[in-house]
Chains A and B, each alone.
Chain A
């Protein structure tokens, strides 16, 4: 491939990865501090912590799968394996969270933002304790979280594999991993500021209202990050890690 094509491909893949990670954060069921008392729907932590945990798991599975090839790892397969890792991590987190909410706190998982679960078509309002904002992780939020895991893991692993593959950037494994994580975190935090606290998933009215702004910001931030990484590639000094 022509060098200019390689640089453009890396830039485009970093932008796609960044936008996917921003979308992932918008899909997470994030409850924040109120969820720790089971008075809000979602996992009891911030967007960034939840998404970073999922994405780092995705990077682990992706780097393991990427090491199956001696040269030229298959980009789509590695990115998909990252997505699977992230989905598993999100699934376990939400499942164990729900176990604790249901059997420990004794609440029924239900959505606080919609009256009827869009997937199971079951009514939610009867199960919501007055003056709370929902509880636990209901079905629709679980599905949304799994989709978010897919999107975030795919995005993070896509950035990673473009940086580590010897036909593209050819950084060392650790350099590619930490740079992918840096770009991912920058995007995830801008998206978290866009959400501003808590979100339940794609059925939340907040999602529809804010997703366009979030993706626009992520496009600009990841384009800049991509340009910076391409500058690092252009110097040619990081090529061919020792490991």
Chain B
């Protein structure tokens, strides 16, 4: 009896060992919430203040900023907001539009943009004014929403989350504007980004990059790394859309690499996301409507 029990226990242990659930290699373990935030803030600010960078580098920038925004949405929305996850993503971009336009206005002043190396490289410090102001606005609204004298939502870390969302929303709008216009000069930005209505597309794709991952994945078995895979995938889709816009406004030299980058990222991260879902699910019967990847 004793031997058999031991055998059974061993077998059970083996079985437990034999089901490695989180197999996907691209892990966000090192980049915990704080590290991802700091990395995205540094990269986002660096890419935002150099509007002369090639578009596909800025494309990588928006993916990182989307991942940060999605992470902030995740950490605030998991306690239940009462109005659904999308509201906080849309809030981030409502802030982002106000901050982005203020940043562009300040950057286009005489002291807002520094030209170095004989006017070849522009450093638009002015956009940081929008980022800082929106960090302040996000912090204040986080305190209003969480403060016990005000709305009293009792969500741990909502102040920090809303501050991060204000910054991430502003950075997303700024970087996407600089992708399409190639500069922060209002003479180029107004006709190419704002007056033709592209700003509305920027608004909604950035909002989706931040709200959609957690909105889709939320539930008991939600896992952070899997959720963030989707935000990068949406960054790929955003890159394709912005690449088409850039080809029309700037040139194919800027636009086509961005489209290629977007397509590669989309395919790679879509596959990775689907794989992670299928590995971690108990069972996945296919409906036959969409061809499932190896499922």
Contact surface of A with B, Cβ cutoff 8 Å: 32, 46-49, 52, 172-175, 178-179, 181-186, 189-190, 192-197, 213-214, 216-217, 220-221, 224-225, 228-229, 231-233, 235-238, 241-243
Contacts and interface: CB of A to CB of B under 8 A. Distances in A.
Interface stretch (B48-56, B197-205, B284-292): B197-205
A106 B130 CA distance: 52
Interface stretch (B81-89, B114-122, B241-249): B81-89
A238 B190 CA distance: 8
Nearest to B145: A193
Contacts of A233: 105
A237 B113 CA distance: 13
Given A178-B200, A186-B94, A221-B144, A237 B195 contact: no
Given A189-B83, A238-B104, 17 more contacts: A172-B194, A174-B194, A174-B196, A178-B101, A178-B199, A178-B203, A182-B94, A190-B144, A193-B83, A197-B83, A220-B140, A228-B99, A228-B102, A231-B105, A233-B105, A237-B108, A241-B190
Closest CB pairs A-B (n = 10)? A185-B94, A182-B97, A196-B82, A232-B105, A237-B108, A232-B102, A235-B105, A189-B91, A182-B98, A217-B144
Contact of B144 (A179, A182, A220, A243): A220
A184 B114 CA distance: 34
Given A193-B153, A237-B109, A178 B194 contact: yes
Contact of A46 (B84, B109, B136, B195): B84
Interface residues of B, number: 48
B157 interface: no
Contact of A175 (B109, B187, B194): B194
B190 A242 contact: yes
**Interface centre among B96, B99, B151, by most A CB within 10 Å?**
B151
A188 to B, nearest CB: 8
Contact of B98 (A196, A220, A229, A241): A229
A221 B137 contact: yes
A224 B108 contact: no
22 contacts: A32-B83, A46-B86, A48-B90, A49-B86, A52-B90, A174-B190, A174-B196, A175-B194, A178-B97, A178-B101, A181-B94, A182-B93, A190-B141, A190-B145, A192-B83, A193-B151, A217-B141, A228-B102, A228-B130, A228-B133, A235-B106, A241-B194
A231 B83 contact: no
A183 B97 CA distance: 9
Contacts, number: 149
Interface string B66-97: 00000000000000011110111011011111
Contacts of A242: 187, 190-191, 195
Interface in B208-230: none
Contacts of A214: 151
Given A46-B84, A193-B82, A220-B144, A238 B97 contact: no
A179 B104 CA distance: 13
A225 B137 contact: yes
Given A179-B97, A183-B98, A47 B190 contact: no
